[in-house]
Chains A and B, each alone.
Chain A
């Protein structure tokens, strides 16, 4: 992986990258975005950490990557054939993201509702959302009046990935500032073998995860090399405000970095299992949990760390997986968020299993945030938070932390923990 840390993004006459400075010609990017005529209009905005900027309606965040060599392309299945990726050389504009911000014109009910995604680039809310600490190029998409929600969503996803990839390709003839080698090398066989079990969310349009360009559907848990994740084999399409995993995080799962960092030091990182939550019924949940444990056993894992995306229903899949692992003598440490509101004695979980005696908690949703108005709002000014309440994004927002974009991952990365008092 060749890293090209981005230190600043500015608008300019041509699009180029040099010495940490990304210069972007907005009309050139607009042409790329509008190529297939899938949007009424598209505009570009820059939002940097510390700026007095609030971004609303955020769907996804993508860190620009581009394959220089290897068997496949970046975001395979979307930007090229679904050939196995994860080998060769990848260039990355690190520390920046391309953000998609948009809305939908078709009817939205129940789960198939796109829920608000707010990112505050500064202020007290910044620590409760991801991407307040990345340099962001925001693409604002205005939908075609006759597009269905699904058509618009697909078009936004494709263009966001395409522009990210195009920006990263600016580095193809320059040497990276830093090169990192990620390889699951043979290590001391006596080190404990650890597998990472990553449970992602898939339910319906607006709550999707893609693997090699195809939604996870009813697919069984599967083995995946962590390097495939780095190259965008998994793309996020879940628009549930606090729970969602942006593509940026699929490509940068904190546990992958942690396990790679300790591979050959105090553990043997034997690989990764990707599974989906929210299976339709108890039998399918059971099947999935058993399958994860079986795959972990095939890898001879001594232990597993787990992360999950989703809500109450998915947590049943998650705990059954923990149980199945423990029953196969594989120690399991799940990372969870709590559902009881902070400062209350509400029960912290929807479901659990007695085998789960080693849990890492990133705390609970529900801390109040008093976020002041920002100088600039990118995206809709009128927003609707979960529960239907309308807010003016230009004003002060008295909201809860979970109204922010990908809160549960911000809690994870920013070191939050739930504690008994």
Chain B
């Protein structure tokens, strides 16, 4: 394999200029490896070498980001390295953000491959997530050797185009993307092994760390129903019989808005459900069972609610991905706000 050529990005502290008092130190280009770069070079051995170092003060970076990017772009085009290593920044917040922002910029411009490393609480982790490969490190430079070991191991794969193993195996932060892998061990022995560890109080690792969901606070009740404009929005898959938006019976990101203006109730076959996850016979027989227009018209007639919004919103919730459903929810909220709706009934299946 040919030797890979690396440019190293460091802040003022790691090139030895000083701490906070030197945070305004401007951008500098050095021909040789400096500070942790020496160790990086040593770990690279015959696999590669550091061909240049970029350094910049933490504060200077953020005050001059655009001009810094321009200068670094020019520099990288000139010496065309295979890879830029930023940091590792450990738990240094501004440094971590600088590493993440710089790597994103270089990556978007496609100037070379990039990699950085930091501690899980560094705000740079979130910025880098999904676009910059970030190695998990300890909180301080005490972890330098192990962090650089991992960075080198992954860097060699990045440059040669070799497929990376999972985040956990390689030691980088998950990008959010998951893939299926085939193991030698079926699920059942893995489950019993995991249970035994848990029961005995031994350390264990879950095969899925569940992301935290947003908590939705219920809104305040409608203060005056007599003035309220009430809409119906449902994931029950109710569409006109020709399904004009071609909403499928599961896993959709499509939705439609359909009018029942002028109707007192919904007769059979005026709308049908294309939902693939429940027995649709009864709602097709009487669409009011899921789009309760008949009941709402009674309340409207008695003046107990201001009026019924004459269009209803519809999608199919069956197997819907959270992301898609969030987008639909947002679009519906915009639509209803625009129409002056003050309350929504969400019949679910």
Contacts and interface: CB of A to CB of B under 8 A. Distances in A.
A129 B183 CA distance: 17
Contact of B277 (A312, A367, A387): A312
Nearest to B173: A420
Contacts of B177: 343-345, 420-421
A267 interface: yes
Contacts of B250: 386-387
B281 A110 contact: yes
B175 A421 contact: yes
Contact of B181 (A341, A352, A388, A419): A419
Interface residues of A, number: 67
A346 B323 contact: yes
B207 A417 contact: yes
Given A109-B281, A360-B194, A346 B186 contact: no
Nearest to B209: A420
A395 B199 CA distance: 51
B196 A267 contact: yes
B130 A311 contact: no
Q: From DSSP, what is the main secondary structure of chain B's interface residues?
A: loop
24 contacts: A111-B277, A192-B199, A194-B199, A204-B279, A258-B191, A303-B198, A311-B318, A311-B319, A335-B188, A340-B178, A340-B321, A343-B179, A346-B322, A361-B208, A362-B187, A363-B180, A364-B180, A415-B184, A415-B185, A417-B182, A417-B183, A417-B207, A418-B178, A421-B174
B167 A420 contact: yes
Interface of B: 130, 164, 166-168, 174-192, 194-196, 198-200, 204, 206-211, 213, 248-250, 273, 275-281, 284, 318-319, 321-324
Contacts of A361: 207-208
A145 interface: no
Given A416-B183, A417-B207, A421-B166, A331 B199 contact: yes
B192 A258 contact: yes
A258 B168 CA distance: 26
A419 B281 CA distance: 40
Contact of B208 (A267, A346, A359, A367): A359
Nearest to B174: A420
A403 interface: no
Interface string A340-383: 11111111111010001111111110010000000000000000
A413 B321 contact: no
Interface in A41-69: none
Contacts of B210: 348-349, 352, 356, 359
Contacts of A303: 195-196, 198-199
Nearest to A302: B199
A350 B275 CA distance: 17
Given A358-B195, A417-B183, 8 more contacts: A348-B178, A348-B211, A349-B210, A360-B187, A363-B180, A388-B248, A413-B187, A415-B182
Q: Which 9 A/B pairs are nearest by Cβ-Cβ distance?
A: A110-B280, A420-B174, A347-B322, A345-B176, A363-B180, A419-B166, A254-B188, A415-B183, A258-B188
B211 A254 contact: no
A416 B196 contact: no
Contact of B273 (A110, A313, A336, A339): A110
A412 B191 CA distance: 11
Contacts of B276: 110-111, 113, 386-387
B188 A257 contact: yes
B186 A259 contact: no
Nearest to A115: B276
Interface in A237-259: 254-255, 257-259
Contact of A333 (B167, B168, B194): B194
A267 B195 CA distance: 10
B221 to A, nearest CB: 21
A357 B279 contact: no
A266 interface: yes
B199 A347 contact: no
A357 B198 CA distance: 10
A303 B197 CA distance: 10
Contact of B321 (A347, A367, A411): A347
Nearest to B272: A109
Nearest to A113: B276
A345 B175 contact: yes
A222 interface: no
A311 B318 CA distance: 9
Contacts of B322: 346-347
Given A112-B279, A347-B321, A359-B208, A192 B196 contact: yes
Nearest to B205: A358
Given A112-B279, A356-B210, A421 B194 contact: no
B15 to A, nearest CB: 33
A244 B167 CA distance: 32
A303 to B, nearest CB: 4
Contact of A267 (B176, B192, B207): B192
Contact of B179 (A305, A349, A357, A421): A421
A345 B186 CA distance: 24
A240 B200 CA distance: 38
Contacts of A254: 186-188
B192 A414 contact: no
A100 B275 CA distance: 27
A309 interface: no
Nearest to B248: A387
Contact of A358 (B181, B187, B198): B198
B326 to A, nearest CB: 9
A305 B164 contact: no
Contacts of A338: 178, 208
Given A303-B198, A386-B249, A112 B182 contact: no
B167 A419 contact: yes
A21 to B, nearest CB: 29
B210 to A, nearest CB: 5
A373 to B, nearest CB: 25
A359 B206 contact: yes
A417 B180 CA distance: 6
A253 B319 CA distance: 26
A305 B188 CA distance: 9
A262 interface: yes
Nearest to A259: B192
A194 B197 CA distance: 13
A305 to B, nearest CB: 5
Given A112-B281, A335-B191, A415-B187, A360 B207 contact: yes
Nearest to B284: A109
A342 B180 CA distance: 6
Contacts of A340: 178, 321
